[in-house]
Structure 1
Amino acid sequence: MNDNEQQVLQLRPEAALALLIERVQHMLTTYEGRIAIGLAGGPGVGKSTLAVKLVEALNATTPDLAAYVPMDGFHMRHSKLESLGTVKDKGAPHTFEGAAFAEFLAGVKAATLQVSGPGYSREIEDVVIDAFIVPAGARVLVVEGNYLLLANAPWWQVRPLLDLAVFIDLPRDTVKARLLARHAQHGLFTAERNRQHVERVDLANYDLVKRSRGRADIAIDLVTER
């Protein structure tokens, strides 16, 4: 769908969900085999919540039709970041196994048997093995992550694997408030550490990801209360 002009919409989250359900259902009638729907955007914009709700809605009508495939499971392990001296950058593109994620996604698209994949736990701030399952009969992969649309290596390998790429966006101030609340939720770090991380890493990632917005088929500016 890359040759189409980008569609830009302002929608409330429930309307965005309805739109995506409709698009996926249409694609299922026109595509053969497994399709990948990519939800990209900066940290804190609500893309993971939207992705999970999309999977739930699709599976409510046809069990195991869709599976959630998060990019976050391809964070470098915390021990590896410690050995590299890059713990302070955690969440930036270079702290992910980007090539491994692209290889995994390509494999899942082609798979005919059940596949499991890694996730990321904010409670322990580390990778969790076998966090999700893609059933053998699943036709829709709802892929979610910050860096799905980046054009630099190794991330450029991801975009061609997405049959529909959707960029989810929110105003920067709203994102900052959400991220501060997220980091404080589990009480693992001090408020000052969280503030510094949001300012130095998360918002820098938000700005970086924003520049990949033009590579999406659909750009959705979410309209929220906060």
Structure 2
Amino acid sequence: MAPERLHLTPQAALARLVPHILEMESRAHHRIAIGFAGGPGTGKSTLAAELVTMLNAVKPGSAALVPMDGFHMKHAKIEAMGATDRKGAPHTFEGADFVNFLHHLKSATGPVSGPGYSRKIEDTVDDAFTVQPEVRVLVVEGNYLLLTEGPWAGVKLQLDYSVFIDVPRELVRARLLRRHGEEGLFTEERNRAHIERNDLPNYDLVSQSQDRADVVISMDVER
């Protein structure tokens, strides 16, 4: 079944998603997972975090953010693989661990902690967040939620509703250059090369998975 396709501002997207998810949660007899997929630099992380804030404003403690980025392989492992030039590509994540984590979260009755990713150190951080027992809505966000390759194929089975965020490629390039430069860890030349060699190919790969979403939102954004 083809996804619903909408052209919305971020604010309009949230205004549409919040009541839909609240209705889903009210009907569900179990924890539900909402997936936010999209390429790097599309703003999905920001939108997912804002959604969690809005859901918790209506029902305090009912929603939690679950980021895929915490399942990057440790940087030392990526170095040992000789894959630092492709860091961030699907094969540089612990995809199977991520699927198992989501499966566990869906049925967990106690607090569960998960890893995060810090751009300040370009590495993962253990126990970066904790999902409390009262959480009813897991807002899962990441590039590769809808891929069909390898362990990633198991992610969609854990999602009760999936949203794909689409932003024009040239805007993504500009955003990524700004993002990579913010921490000052690398030269602009290195950042430009990384974006062309790695980030934009990942964006192109992820774009091919959008038809697996329940809804595709083309973001009406200026920068």
- TM-score normalised according to structure 1 size: 0.97
Report SS of the residue matched to 2:150: coil
Matches of 2:145 and 2:7 in 1, distance apart?
A: 21
Indicate which of 63, 81, 93 corresponds to 1:84: 81
State the partner residue of 1:7: 4
Corresponding position: 1:48 with 2:52: no
State the partner residue of 1:212: 209
Any runs of at least 4 consecutive aligned residues in structure 1 with deviations exceeding 4 A, and if so which? none
Corresponding position: 1:64 with 2:61: yes
Matches of 2:191 and 2:51 in 1, distance apart?
A: 30
Deviation, 1:63, is 1.5
Corresponding position: 1:38 with 2:72: no
The answer to whether the Cα contact below 8 Å between 2:103 and 2:158 also exists between their aligned partners in 1 is yes
Corresponding position: 1:221 with 2:181: no
Corresponding position: 1:95 with 2:89: no
Matches of 2:113 and 2:6 in 1, distance apart?
A: 34
Indicate which of 102, 106, 109 corresponds to 1:109: 106
Corresponding position: 1:140 with 2:112: no
State the partner residue of 2:16: 19
Matches of 2:208 and 2:186 in 1, distance apart?
A: 30
State the partner residue of 2:168: 171
Indicate which of 156, 159, 163 corresponds to 1:159: 156
- TM-score normalised according to structure 2 size: 0.99
Deviation, 1:5, is 4.0
Deviation, 1:10, is 0.1
State the partner residue of 2:194: 197
Q: Could you tell me which amino acid in structure 2 is paired with residue 69 of structure 1?
A: V
Q: How many pairs align?
A: 223
State the partner residue of 1:123: 120
Unaligned runs of 5+ in 1: none
Matches of 2:25 and 2:108 in 1, distance apart?
A: 17
Q: Could you tell me which amino acid in structure 1 is paired with residue 116 of structure 2?
A: G
Between the aligned residues of both structures, percent identity stands at: 59
Indicate which of 185, 189, 195 corresponds to 1:188: 185
Q: Give the aligned CA root-mean-square deviation in angstroms.
A: 0.7
Deviation, 1:88, is 1.1
Deviation, 1:29, is 2.1
